[in-house]
Amino acid sequence: MFEVSWCKRILIEDYRYDGTSIGEAWCDLEIRPVSTEKTVVIATEVLHNPGPTITNAVCYLAAVVCEDFKIYPSRLVWIEHYRVWSPAFGLSITYTQVQFGVVRPGTNRTFREPRWQPMTNDGWRALGLRPRRASP
């Protein structure tokens, strides 16, 4: 697609990612270069997603987004965002940073060994971003 280094923020609704053995899927994306060394991608799970969740496809999805938007894998900060409604508990909002144990540019298996950690206010500030509100 295009490089994101020149822009402040890209918002995409229903970004389609397919080609996996598990079928077509989509999510919303927010892409923000926060420095010359880091680009934050916030992938939001959407209720009408017909395929695997952003969590189940995280390694594949991160690689495709890096390829489509010319993001160096070593500069990627990946954050998953979920909004879930439950009659018993109401709206639950979470932001979770995914760190990858192996990042290998130039292969079709760029990202491996994902680990999830909830975003904190300090985590947002360390990225140079305003903290986002998650449900307790």
Q: What is the pLDDT of residues 31-89, one digit of tens each?
A: 999 988 899 999 999 988 988 999 999 999 999 999 999 998 989 999 999 987 767 76
Neighbours of 10 (CB within 10 A): 15
Q: What is the pLDDT confidence band of residue 136, given thresholds at 50, 70 and 90?
A: low
Q: Please report how many Cα atoms fall inside a 13 Å half-sphere around the Cα of residue 131, on the Cβ side.
A: 10
> What value does the mean pLDDT of the chain take?
86
pLDDT at residue 106, rounded to an integer: 60
pLDDT at residue 110, rounded to an integer: 78
> Per-residue pLDDT tens for 24-45?
899 999 999 998 889 999 999 9
pLDDT at residue 1 greater than cutoff 80: no
DSSP string for 104-133: -TTSTT-EEEEEEEE--HHHHHHTT-PPPP
